[in-house]
Structure 1
Amino acid sequence: MPVKLVTSDAVAFDVDVVVARQSVMLRDILDGTHCYVGPEPTEDDEPIPLQYVNADILRKVLQWCTHHKDDALQQSHDKNRDHRTDDIPSWDQEFLRVDQGTLFEILMAAKYLDIEGLLGACCKSVVNMVRGKTPE
């Protein structure tokens, strides 16, 4: 049974549970008592409102989550790796090759939904985008 999400512009999405659980926020809701009674959604469950994410951006976020759904949920934290900006996977680089406004909206959605991998890739892309530029 898919998870029901509704965006800020009132567009409904039925999302596979495995994909939705990449978001810590959605995982907490699914595991808690917010909208769902048990670990699996049912047809009677209320949709989860995403008040800070519009449909176009959620579509992009879900595309990223679907691509990465088989990745390990917890990757080891290597501080040196976290500070590197040259290790963005090629698929992520291509995925994030969008206009600046869209990139920042994806970044804000990743922060709101607490999707660490996407947030990290977005932040590294922003760093690479401004690298070598002056404040002017």
Structure 2
Amino acid sequence: MQTPDIGNVSLICKDGVTIEVPRDIAEKSRLIKNLLHDLGPVATPIPLPSVDSTILIEVFKWAFHHRFDPPPMTEEEMASAFRNGRSLRRLDDISSWDHDFCQVDQATLFNIIVVANYLDIPALLDLTTKSVATMITGKTPEQLRLTFNIPSDLAPDEEDSIQRDNQWIGN
């Protein structure tokens, strides 16, 4: 059996595509980092049965761009920052590169969120959920339904009745 290349990690996606990436890029994922730590060097691709290759490629584009970023804050560091009045969840602190990265169709963005959560990549999860939060901010319920293709669960006459009964709220 061949000795695996310690510098690269092979991952096999649910669609059968094998992706090889530098270990430091793969280890942006806490899941993969923990797997590699627990298993040691692996000669076969690590299966990712819940991840489509097209989304994983996008995730690794992001990881490659952020290759030299400092590690994310620990929960203790975040708690300390919060106690000291520092805001950690600003919606406007997204770099132009990250903003452009998130400018994908809704389905792709939501799939990136799911994969970032599955692979445990907090910084990417934070970025993509901030992107969704900016899509929501300042929208009416009707605009949200249109943006996210959410059908109204009320009949038109029920909606009209609620609007009439609650007209005073908007004034």
Which bracket does the TM-score occupy, shorter chain normalised? 0.7 to 0.9
Query: Identical aligned pairs, as a percentage?
Result: 41
Q: Which residue, out of 63, 70, 77, partners 1:72?
A: 70
Greater share of helix: 2
SS in 2 for 1:32: helix
SS of the equivalent of 2:87 reads: helix
Matching residue of 2:147: none
Matched residue of 2:132: which SS?
helix
Deviations 1:77-108 (A, max 9, x none): 34443321111111100111111111100011
Name the CA distance, whole Å, in 1 between partners of 2:90 and 2:72: 18
How many equivalent residue pairs? 128
TM-score, with structure 2 as normaliser:
0.71
List alignment gaps of at least 5 residues for structure 1: none
* Aligned match of 1:47: 45
SS of the aligned residue for 1:49 comes to strand
Q: CA RMSD in A?
A: 1.4
CA contact (8 A) 2:72 2:122 kept: no
* Residue equivalent to 1:106: 112
TM-score by length of structure 1 reads 0.88
Task: Letter of the 1:65 partner, please give it.
Answer: A
What's the secondary structure of 1:72's corresponding residue? coil
Pick the aligned partner of 2:93 from 60, 67, 87.
87
One-letter amino acid of the structure 2 residue matched with residue 99 of structure 1? D
Higher relative CO (Cα under 8 Å, sequence separation at least 6) belongs to 1
SS at 2:88 equivalent: helix
Which residue of structure 1 aligns with residue 27 of structure 2?
21
Q: 2:123 matched to 1:117?
A: yes
Whose radius of gyration is greater, 1 or 2?
2
Displaced runs of 4 or more, over 6 A: none
